[in-house]
Amino acid sequence: MRAKTLVLGLAALLAGAAMALPAQAGDSNGNFQAKLGVTGVIFDDNTKWTTPAGLGEAETNDTVIPTLALTYFFNKNWAVELFCCFAQVNVDGKSGALGSLGKLASTWVFPPILTAQYHFDGMGPFKPYVGAGVQWIHYFDEKSNLGDSVNFDDSWGFALQGGVDYDLGQGWSLGVDVKKVWEDTKLTYSSGVVAKHDLDPLFVTANLGYRFNLSDLFGSREPAPLK
């Protein structure tokens, strides 16, 4: 139900932004772009160590979530993107003593990714790009399934990005985006159990984008230096 609410909310946000602009305001060379996406999050994770030692390994469940990306173009090649979403993830026992316990914990996450991008031009409607930046994950509403409480340390990690948009005209586009992040977190249970866990997620997104000039939102038209 929460995922459905998020999808509807993001769709309304993108539609509302498009409707707020003047007629024919969409511009495939504009300086701002909003993308509504569906993202698969695939974890390449492992447990680095536990206290007490030798408890075994856990794993984080892969998931599919709605996402929103906002991109500001400084010129036709360079841009900065903020990508985000909300998601709930579970941590399950995989091997050793942890493997026999099943679901260990769950948490909601707010995991924005900020990247600087280089966009290639001269390829017609295809607009490929690469990027690099950082991700921060904030964990909240953590729950333990072991009869105690648990805290997840917030995470920082390095991110690489690659993607391509296909220009549909009048500012609209379809795109595919891939981001790889390297990061870890530490789970601390009130019972005294501690686990350091690599996450290293891969984000694979299919999106619908709308691009325009920010000046159109404020009723002024300044020459756009991006064409």
Residues 66-111 pLDDT 10s: 999 999 999 999 999 999 999 999 999 999 989 888 899 999 999 9
Could you state, in order of their start, the residue ranges of all structural domains in the chain? 2-213
CB-side neighbour CA atoms (13 Å) of 76: 11
Q: What's the confidence (pLDDT) of residue 11?
A: 52
CATH architecture type of domain 2-213: Beta Barrel (2.40)
Which two tokens mark 26?
């969409």
Q: What's the confidence (pLDDT) of residue 10?
A: 52
Contact indicator for 60, 105 with CB cutoff of 8 Å: no
Residue 4 pLDDT more than 70?
A: no
Distance of alpha carbon 33 from alpha carbon 172, whole angstroms = 9
**What's the mean pLDDT in 43-58?**
92
**What's the mean pLDDT in 26-36?**
93
Q: What's the confidence (pLDDT) of residue 23?
A: 45
Distance of alpha carbon 209 from alpha carbon 119, whole angstroms = 15
